């Protein structure tokens, strides 16, 4: 049985590698290190299908060093330690350090990442990690400080067209077929900068159109690509356009107070293999942006959802996501906090760095006190009701209002309280 086209087209050398010229092009930083024969531990950060795994394998092959690999999805501390012991056994005198490649390193827990530290510090291994998530949030600081981070970009349209031409002219199976590409817009749009997705779609359309018969001409048009993808309901692309369309539908269903729509789009993401943490993060954002002060408990639940998901894992984690989704969708809505920071940011951009009023400044030194820092400040707790009237904005904008309450139970209570202490009843 033939291997998938994406696997057959996996490049074996840097010269065959498509894209990421800022990293591996002639004279680039990573290319220079590879050519010198010495590489540090590093993390490759970028969206799916841009060549992270392939690049790690090419580097190991070009440097002719042992290459070990782990997937964070199905490996634990035990597997990490076993691989490190194997790596130790390959090191002799002045031989080069073996490479340990960890795919989806962002899925490793803190204890799993901790188990890598000693081996990286002592030079037992050269670590290459691959992640689709920001390493600053997902990789522990001690490990991150010992690794360079290289950012891979989504492939450009020119990169994708180059890859497609190479597949049509060099792949052993596609060369047997008569294939004409009349239109490329749909191929490029649905691949979303993902080389693997492009080749998978190309193979899907060719196989469906040609019925696997080498003598059947295949003509690829935008309409044909769209039709073939619609016939394939599992074609959820967690790195391409559909990924963004579905998460958009999910958030808009929550914002629109439709629990049925929200749960449906959640199910689509779960079935498509979306990263659960990505969904949980979006729920935390929605709780603040769309529900906000109308139900402050929404943010607490969304944050608890994120924490619980990291502890429970998959597949039970889908139940936690479902509970939070329904709760957010059925909560009263307000974007007053979101609008407040937008309004304040617009004012900062308009008026620039206005000086802090003297009475609001700290005065830890005698010099600052002599300059009237802190002078005239009224400590609210010294006054009845823990409130005293004073200005908290720069003089130039002292009457500006950035937060405006909206018409819901919670914010009406907030506004009534503010009115009562300010004497605006």
Q: How many domains does the chain have?
A: 4
Domain enclosing residue 170, as ranges:
157-230
Least Cα distance to 306 among 289, 335, 290, 285 occurs for: 285
Q: Residue 127 belongs to a domain with what CATH number? A: 3.40.50.300
Are residues 25 and 91 both part of a single domain?
Answer: yes
In a domain, 14, yes or no: no
Contact 112, 72 (CB under 8 A): yes
Contact 18, 6 (CB under 8 A): no
Burial 21-34 (b: 16+ CB within 10 A, else e): eebbeeeeebbebb
Are residues 24 and 145 both part of a single domain?
Answer: yes
Question: Is 266 strand, coil or helix?
Answer: helix
Are residues 164 and 128 both part of a single domain?
Answer: no
Q: Which of 197, 230, 263 is the last residue of a domain?
A: 230
Are residues 37 and 115 both part of a single domain?
Answer: yes
Are residues 92 and 205 both part of a single domain?
Answer: no
Q: What is the pLDDT of residue 327?
A: 94
d(CA 364, CA 342): 33
Q: Which of 277, 312, 329 is the last residue of a domain?
A: 329
Q: What is the pLDDT of residue 175?
A: 81
Q: What is the pLDDT of residue 312?
A: 80
Q: What is the pLDDT of residue 92?
A: 59
- Distances 68 to 23, 99, 105, 412 between C-alpha atoms, Å: 23, 6, 14, 60
Q: What is the pLDDT of residue 213?
A: 56
Are residues 246 and 317 both part of a single domain?
Answer: yes
Per-residue pLDDT of the chain (425 residues; tens, 9 = 90+): 467 888 888 888 888 888 888 888 888 888 888 888 788 889 998 887 788 888 888 888 888 888 888 877 676 777 778 888 887 777 655 567 788 888 888 877 777 788 888 888 887 888 888 888 888 877 888 888 888 888 888 888 898 999 999 988 888 888 888 888 888 888 888 887 888 888 888 888 888 775 555 567 888 888 888 877 765 544 445 444 456 678 888 999 999 989 898 999 899 888 777 788 889 999 999 999 999 998 999 999 999 999 888 888 777 888 999 999 999 999 999 999 989 988 888 888 888 888 888 888 888 888 878 888 888 888 888 888 888 888 888 888 888 888 888 888 888 888 888 888 887 54
pTM greater than the 0.85 cutoff:
no
- Distances 86 to 77, 80, 288, 367, 393 between C-alpha atoms, Å: 14, 10, 48, 64, 63
Q: Which residues pair with 42 in a beta bridge?
A: 128, 148
The answer, yes or no, to whether the previous bond of 315 is cis (omega within 30 of 0) is: yes
Q: What is the pLDDT of residue 95?
A: 62
Q: What is the pLDDT of residue 408?
A: 86
In a domain, 392, yes or no: yes
d(CA 77, CA 112): 5
Query: With helix as H, strand as E and coil as C, how does 112-166 read?
Result: HHHHHHHHHHCCCCEEEEEECCCHHHHCCHHHHCCCEEEECCCCCHHHHHHHHHH
In a domain, 15, yes or no: no
Q: Residue 310 belongs to a domain with what CATH number? A: 1.20.272.10
Q: Residue 194 belongs to a domain with what CATH number? A: 1.10.8
């Amino acid at each position: 049985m033939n291997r998938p086209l994406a696997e057959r087209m996996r490049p074996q050398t840097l010269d065959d590698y498509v894209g990421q010229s800022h990293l591996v092009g002639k004279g680039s930083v990573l290319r220079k290190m590879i050519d010198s024969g010495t590489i540090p531990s590093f993390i490759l950060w970028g969206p799916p299908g841009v060549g992270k795994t392939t690049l790690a394998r090419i580097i190991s092959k070009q440097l002719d060093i042992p290459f070990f690999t782990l997937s964070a999805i199905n490996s634990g501390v035990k597997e990490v330690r076993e691989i490190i012991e194997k790596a130790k056994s390959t090191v002799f005198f002045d031989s080069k350090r073996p490479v340990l490649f960890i795919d989806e390193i962002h899925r490793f827990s803190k204890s799993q990442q901790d188990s890598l530290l000693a081996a990286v510090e002592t030079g037992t291994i050269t670590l290459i990690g691959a992640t689709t998530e920001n390493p600053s949030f997902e990789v522990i600081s001690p490990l991150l400080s010992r690794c360079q981070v290289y950012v891979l970009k989504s492939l450009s349209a020119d990169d994708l067209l180059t890859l497609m031409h190479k597949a049509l002219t060099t792949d052993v199976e596609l060369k047997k077929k008569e294939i004409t590409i009349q239109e490329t817009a749909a191929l490029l749009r649905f691949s979303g900068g993902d080389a693997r997705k492009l080749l998978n779609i190309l193979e899907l359309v060719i196989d469906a159109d040609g019925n696997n018969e080498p003598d059947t001409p295949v003509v690829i048009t935008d309409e044909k690509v769209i039709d073939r993808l619609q016939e394939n309901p599992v074609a959820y692309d967690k790195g391409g356009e559909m990924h963004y369309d579905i998460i958009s539908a999910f958030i808009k269903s929550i914002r629109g107070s439709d629990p049925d729509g929200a749960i449906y789009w959640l199910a689509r993401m779960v079935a498509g293999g979306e990263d659960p943490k990505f969904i949980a993060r979006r729920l935390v954002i929605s709780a603040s942006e769309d529900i906000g002060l109308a139900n402050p408990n929404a943010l607490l639940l969304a944050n608890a959802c994120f924490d619980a998901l990291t502890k429970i894992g998959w597949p039970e984690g889908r139940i936690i996501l479902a509970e939070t989704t329904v709760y957010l969708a059925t909560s009263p809505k307000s974007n007053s906090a979101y609008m407040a920071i937008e309004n304040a940011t617009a004012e900062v951009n308009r008026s620039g760095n206005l000086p802090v009023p003297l009475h609001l400044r700290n005065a830890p030194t005698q010099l600052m006190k002599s300059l009237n820092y802190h002078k005239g400040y009224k400590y609210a707790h010294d006054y009845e009701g823990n409130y005293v009237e004073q200005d908290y904005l720069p003089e130039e904008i002292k009457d500006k209002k950035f937060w405006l309450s909206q018409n819901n139970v919670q914010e009406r209570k907030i506004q009534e309280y503010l009115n009562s202490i300010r004497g605006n009843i």
